[in-house]
Amino acid sequence: MHLLISKKIVVYFLMFCFLVSINNISFMNVSFPKISEVEINGLNPDERKKIEDIIYDSNFKNIFYLDKEYLKRKINSINIIEQFEIFKNYPSTLKIFIEKTEILAQTKKNGFDYLIGSNGKLIENKDFKSELPFIFGDLDISEFLKLKKKIDSSLFEFSEISNLYQYKSNRWDIETRKGNLIKLPKNDIKEIDLVVVNLYPFVETVSKPETTLEIAIENIDIGGPSMLRSAAKNNKYVGVVVDPTDYDLVLDELQKNEGCISEKRRFELAAKAFSHTAAYDTAISNYLSADRNKDFPDNIFSKYQLKEVLRYGENPHQKAAIYSTKYNPEISQLYGKKLISDFQVSEVFYSNSVKNTIRGVHLQKKPNELKKIVTCIEGEVLDFFIDLRKESKTFGVYDSIKLSDKTTSVYIPNGFGHGFSVLSDTATVMYIQDGDYNQENEVGINPLSLDFNWKVDKPIISDRDSSLPEYSNF
């Protein structure tokens, strides 16, 4: 009984398959309407027409009898296409969604111009596109795509490239839009985590009297500043060290953080690198700009370094600090030796002012009298001093002198009032004092109450100075 049932099942199955086969053949020959509509997304009208022609010229009987593999091969032959999907919308509509290839570069082959797509295909090109890098040499597209992938994973921006040169050894040269040429090794491009550069000793070299112009030029570092600036710009990923005094700091952080430098530290080092290259370029510019036939150069650039933070500025409510150039001698007090006569350096501070500013006239009375050495280190001022010692035979006698970074300093003794007016666009005046500022013992006179020409057009005076008593009431 079981055997009989099994034979029946087999017979029924075979009959079913036969009927399905017959019906399928008949079904395929049923007169369904041909594909009447093709929807193509992702292409412009001219590009869509190419695909429409392929479909209509293929003579597909209907949407059921559609050779997808054949259609895929035809569409893939169109070089502008990266990938696509085909959907049937019964009974007679075909939908195709297309993603165009990304155009990466341009080149010339066999006398014809081509674009290079991210799909690894060449696309005919009639117009030069300045925004795309041009590839010279024996182009191997697969090697180019490998290079593009490595560049994208690095800190270098592909958009900064103007030209690429490929050699038979598969080595590449990269020319940037700024005119720099980068010669890549044959091996893989490795990411850089830390850049340490000591620049050529230009400043030290030109400070020697025997240095000639030729020697100075030989000591101008070119590649070093470029490396430092590139690394500093990418401080989010790269550490950069320019100062040997930072070596221990960086090494300590690398050891403590498993070979990593914190983002905060990388930023600090980057700022220092930019400052370092700026000072380096400034020194070169100053040296080369010094026209030996001129008394004064057209431009002067300077780099000041923080030496000391002071207790207060010109007034107790102000902050102040001492800055000096790395290359100029500094005023200093050594082992109690006196700078001038009985002058002992106690305080040093700077005053920054704009044109037409009048400062003064100030002095400190007993028991907090001050001697001063006044120097104009930037710009030009008219320095004024007056004897305000009432017991003196020269009481009320005054004089003035123009001070600049090309002149000497002025010594102001006890009991003399001092002030100045700014003649240049800006001016920086340095005070060296033999005692501490004492607000309670400071006195002065309104500078405009004096019969003196300050040589300014529109005087700028602080509220404090304008409120000082007139000279006649001193």
Quick: pLDDT tens for 114-161. 999 988 889 888 778 888 999 998 888 888 998 888 888 877 788 889
80 versus 306: the higher-pLDDT residue is: 80
204 versus 9: the higher-pLDDT residue is: 204
For residue 301, the SS3 value is coil
What are the catalytic residues?
Answer: 362, 372, 431, 465
Question: Does the pLDDT value for residue 187 go beyond 80?
Answer: no
Question: Does the pLDDT value for residue 18 go beyond 60?
Answer: no
The third-level CATH classification (topology) of the domain covering 31-100 is Ubiquitin-like (UB roll) (3.10.20)
DSSP state letters, 151-185: HHTSSS-GGGEEEEEE-TTS-EEEEETTS-EEE--
Q: How far apart are CA 270 and CA 252, in angstroms?
A: 18
Looking at the whole model, is its pTM more than 0.75? no
Residue 226: CB partners within 8 Å, gap ≥ 6?
Answer: 180
Q: How far apart are CA 34 and CA 92, in angstroms?
A: 6
Contact status, residue 417 vs residue 385, Cβ threshold 8 Å = yes
So what's the architecture of 103-183 in CATH?
3-Layer(aba) Sandwich (3.40)
Specify the CATH number of the domain 340-473: 2.60.120.10
Task: Indicate the pLDDT class of residue 331, thresholds 50, 70 and 90.
Answer: very low
Q: How far apart are CA 330 and CA 307, in angstroms?
A: 10
Task: Indicate the pLDDT class of residue 27, thresholds 50, 70 and 90.
Answer: very low
Question: Does the pLDDT value for residue 46 go beyond 80?
Answer: no
Q: Domain spanning 194-289: which CATH class is it, in words? A: alpha beta
Residue 175 amino acid letter: E
Look up residue 359 and give its two tokens.
Answer: 């400062």
pLDDT digits (tens, 9 = 90+) for 355-396: 889 988 888 888 878 888 888 888 899 999 998 888 888 888
pLDDT digits (tens, 9 = 90+) for 148-172: 888 888 777 888 899 999 888 778 8
Q: How far apart are CA 291 and CA 297, in angstroms?
A: 6
Q: How far apart are CA 216 and CA 218, in angstroms?
A: 5
pLDDT digits (tens, 9 = 90+) for 217-245: 999 998 889 889 989 998 888 899 998 88
Interval 438-443 mean pLDDT? 79
